[in-house]
Chains A and B, each alone.
Chain A
Amino acid sequence: MWSYVLRRLGQALLVLFVAFTATFFLLHYLPGDSVIARYGSPQLGLSSAEVAEIRASIGADQPVWTQFWLALTGFLTGDLGFSTQTGASVSSMLAAALPATAALTLTSFLLAVVLAFTIAFTSTFSPFAWLRRVTRALPPLFISIPVFWLAIVLIQVFSFQLGLVPVIGASDLQALILPSLAISVPIAAPLAQILVSSIDEVRSQPFVSVVRAKGASNNWLLWRNVLGNALLPALTIAGLLFGELIAGAVVTETIFGRSGIGRMTEQAVANRDMPVLQAIVVLSAATFVLINLIVDLLYPVLDPRLRKKVRA
């Protein structure tokens, strides 16, 4: 077990290193850099000599390998550098942005899970055939709704038309409702889809007929036999959906004017703010790796058959 975890952690570090290196060199070899984005704007009226001086003062004129080495050692020692755009330290920017995004993504994810289960159960166990058909059509519909469009529609309807939730001057809780709803819909879609099909699959297996023949009720079947088995594929998808959550945060945080990692990403991309982008990529990669590691470790908990494999 522990050697498995250690091996996975080793892989994770490798993934992080590759992500870091790839980001660094990709950004480095694009035309222009963060210094020119910040100081090359004609609004400032700086001459190219002055820009070069600024570049020298932050070490952006050094050979690429030196810069890479400095950035890498900086990351390893916890020094993420300073944003070229604003001059603020990247670690303090991340610290300020993280809680808001964590709250947003977590709420969205929980909402998505609730939504997915509601769809899955309704489409499988509803006594009405028409309702089952309708709910089965929902996942393909949901996944084709773009988050930005949904966010704008939600704001227009619930805030501007009905006036139920303010967008401007909302409390922390109010400010969470619409954005998490917007993110959760496209996340819920694949989850529901997988749940529906795996519930169908499990229900068609012979052991279910046996249990049913022994006189088990529908509920007993669902909770004791079907669900556990149907959850495994859904869990895998849930881990992979983390990427969607981050993408959703970029869009919704910008639309709703929330602070957070998504907003930071949008700003950093617009300004080619390399230190910030570098940190965001590594942070996202780390979280992604970590979540999928947790998912992998959860498998044996849910499925006894896998426990033995892991131990072996």
Chain B
Amino acid sequence: MSLRREFVLSQYRPVSAVMAYVPLPLGRCGRTAIAPCLPANIVDAGRIVIWGTPSQRKGCRPASQSFDEPVLVILLNIITQAANAHVQTAVSMPVLHITSQSFRVETVNQYVHPMSPSHLRPGHPRRDSSHHFRLGATALAASLALAACGGGDVGAEGDPETGGTLTYLEHQPYDTLYPPAAGFYPNGAVINNIADRLLWQDPETLELHPWIATELPEVNEDATEFTFTIREGVTYSDGTELTAENVVKNFDLYGRGDSERTLSVSEAINNYDHGEVIDENTVRFHFDEPAPGFAQATSTINSGLLSDETLDHTQEDFGPGNATTIIGSGPFVVAEEELGTEYTLEAREDYDWAPEEHHHQGPALIDAVNVIVTPEDSVRIGSLVSGQADVARQIEAQDEEQLEESEAEIEAYGTKSVNNGFNFRIGHPILEDLETRQAIIHAVDREAVLESLFTDSYPLATSPLASDALGYSDQSEHYEYDPDRAIELLEEAGWEEGPDGIRERDGERLHLTVNEAHPQPRSAELVTVVAQQLREVGIELELLSGDRAQQNEEAQDPELVQIFHSMVGRADYDVIKSQYHSENRNVLLNGYEDEVTDPELESLLEDIASLPDEADRVVASEQAQEYLAENAYVLPFFEEPQVYGVQPHVLGFETESVARPSFYAVSLDD
């Protein structure tokens, strides 16, 4: 969802403005009507937020210096482009990231709102992009209100406060701290903050940068050998040193697993053979087959580095109740734990090895984070609204309204991966033919589904992949709502209307079952709404009932579940292969009972995960998305976000690439 533009600033320096009013070509945004001018302010060194709602303006600090006019023009231009590029999902809250070399604008999808051109008011830029600059400049001259400026640089103005304890609400307790198996989001609040990784993935650009490795890895030609140089002077919180041997020990466990201890292999690491210590600071990892996704894999929480002693833990030792014994080298350590209800993360004072590219360095700004489990949604929201908590994860769509009326902000972070959607079991007799699958897709009014169940935090999917995922390509033409076409297709496929309105073919009812995706937001409600829509064209859709164990079990049987509702989060090209390949999650059950139904898809997916050159992987990913869309294998609904509620006094809250929380740069403003 995020839109990015990079601009070289050399000709516009100095850019140390704090507050400027920037006209926006949006009449409305979100559910709150906004003024045509929006204030911008610098939150901390290198980051400017252009605020989206009047309530946010309260947070603006007094001006110190204005933008140079050309910069403002560019700013305006970007916002205009953002708005116009997304006529369907206009963007209104851009965040500016400024470094000494460049600045870029990223739009935060929380205020994304379907917008038609009629919302663009007269006098504002039209959709023709060649006019942007000129019209933008006119608008700028007309309505720009710059605050008075003093001296001082950005950093001095925005020095964040240090100290204090953040209260963070989670909806479930963590279930394991063994990194390769820690994909469940509640685990992320621990691992992402206590364990460092070899590489750091910028959550906005998804680019990889050095962290515990001092450089990006050297990779051989066919991507079967990765050589990393390990940073010196890094220590674990038990005082032991993070050495090359230790790094190898980490990946030998994560890449191969240990079945005796029921410790599984990391999903992100494929074809791992062994690690090798080259010298004191150099390690090399060897793979049986090309593994171009490995570099990104080292940046995920599934590859969180742990001390030697922790790596000897058994599955039980990684379980709840043992958090204080999980030793990482991250900015926080688990200080206390009360089983199943809360734990405390304490900042490490000697932490001094943040990724160089990160805007904050040194120890974390706050002293501690109190993570409290509040399973009941209304209590989590109420605690936040009444000020008893600072940040809460998992704000359900139906609760956003309550939060909007309060001081706290809703912050939605995209997971930049495979979208939330229905996956058809292509080997099943009903779903074998293309027409039937296409008919289902055309019979579903996805916008109506989103409208009735979700909010602006949930952007409409335009491809199997999220629009901010690596390798994304727009496939929205395949997902148009067209019930007449659906009926036509069903008739072509030989489905005749039965006595009760449900279609039949050779005595077989057009009846399909879909699982309930327990971890996904409002899965059961979504299925219910879709079932109503499908019934209109004579398709019967049933929701599989049962608890998690039963769902997991029956979802593997195409006779019981013909449509699988799911999503998967990982910010690498590989993610699409993880979801669809018969040897990974295999959501299409391509290859159920040994015979692969569609070998072509398999080879497309394998290309993504094995081509050593990045440009080739992009092409392969685009091909795979097109293939999935053209063949109507997948019906994506929305780009699944992680939605947080954040109090206005919490500054610098951010997430890693798939939206797990990071407390490292958080500070509390009094």
Contact = CB atoms under 8 A, between A and B. Distances in A.
Interface of A: 30-34, 36-37, 39-48, 50, 53-54, 57-58, 82-83, 85-89, 92-93, 96-97, 152, 155-156, 159-161, 163, 166-169, 254-259, 263-264, 266-267, 269-272
A44 B553 contact: no
Contacts of A256: 376, 379
A30 B551 CA distance: 12
Contacts of B584: 45
Contacts of A32: 546-554
A155 B381 CA distance: 12
Interface in B128-180: 167, 169, 173, 175-176
10 shortest A-B CB distances, which residue pairs?
A: A32-B549, A87-B316, A40-B552, A32-B553, A37-B549, A272-B549, A87-B319, A45-B267, A86-B319, A160-B386
Contacts of A88: 316, 319-322
Contacts of A86: 175-176, 316, 319-321
B657 to A, nearest CB: 17
Given A87-B315, A272-B548, A42 B340 contact: no
A31 B553 contact: yes
Contacts of A96: 321, 339
A169 B388 contact: yes
A100 B382 CA distance: 24
A83 B386 contact: no
Contacts of A30: 549-550
B56 interface: no
A160 B315 contact: no
B549 A33 contact: yes
Contacts of A92: 321
Interface in B221-274: 259-260, 262, 264, 267
A88 to B, nearest CB: 5
Given A30-B550, A87-B317, A169-B372, 4 more contacts: A86-B319, A87-B318, A160-B385, A255-B376
A46 B257 CA distance: 11
B378 A152 contact: yes
Contacts of A43: 183-184, 519, 568
Given A44-B264, A152-B379, A168-B167, A83 B549 contact: no
B267 to A, nearest CB: 4
Given A42-B568, A87-B319, A152 B376 contact: yes
A32 B552 CA distance: 7
Contact of A257 (B319, B379, B548, B578): B379
Nearest to B587: A42
B525 to A, nearest CB: 19
Contacts, number: 162
Contacts of B548: 32, 37, 41, 270-272
A167 B587 CA distance: 41
With most chain B CB atoms within 10 A of its CB, the pick from A47, A97, A257, A269 is A257
Interface in B571-615: 578, 583-585, 587
28 contacts: A31-B546, A31-B553, A37-B548, A41-B552, A42-B568, A42-B587, A43-B183, A43-B184, A44-B264, A45-B584, A47-B583, A57-B259, A85-B175, A86-B175, A87-B315, A88-B321, A155-B382, A160-B385, A161-B386, A163-B386, A166-B388, A168-B383, A169-B167, A169-B372, A259-B340, A266-B375, A269-B547, A271-B548
B312 interface: no
B214 interface: no
With most chain A CB atoms within 10 A of its CB, the pick from B260, B316, B546 is B316
With most chain B CB atoms within 10 A of its CB, the pick from A30, A89, A169 is A169
B655 interface: no
A281 to B, nearest CB: 17
A257 B375 contact: yes
Interface string B72-112: 00000000000000000000000000000000000000000
Contact of B552 (A37, A50, A87, A159): A37
A181 to B, nearest CB: 15
B330 to A, nearest CB: 22
Given A43-B183, A96-B321, A272-B547, A254 B376 contact: yes
Nearest to B341: A259
Contacts of B317: 87
Interface string B341-371: 1100000000000000000000000000010
B314 interface: yes
Nearest to A86: B319
With most chain A CB atoms within 10 A of its CB, the pick from B339, B373, B546 is B339
B181 interface: yes
A167 B566 contact: no
B338 interface: yes
B374 interface: yes
B556 interface: yes
Contacts of B549: 30-34, 36-37, 40, 271-272
A87 to B, nearest CB: 4
B643 interface: no
Contact of B316 (A47, A82, A167, A272): A82
B389 interface: yes
A255 B382 CA distance: 12
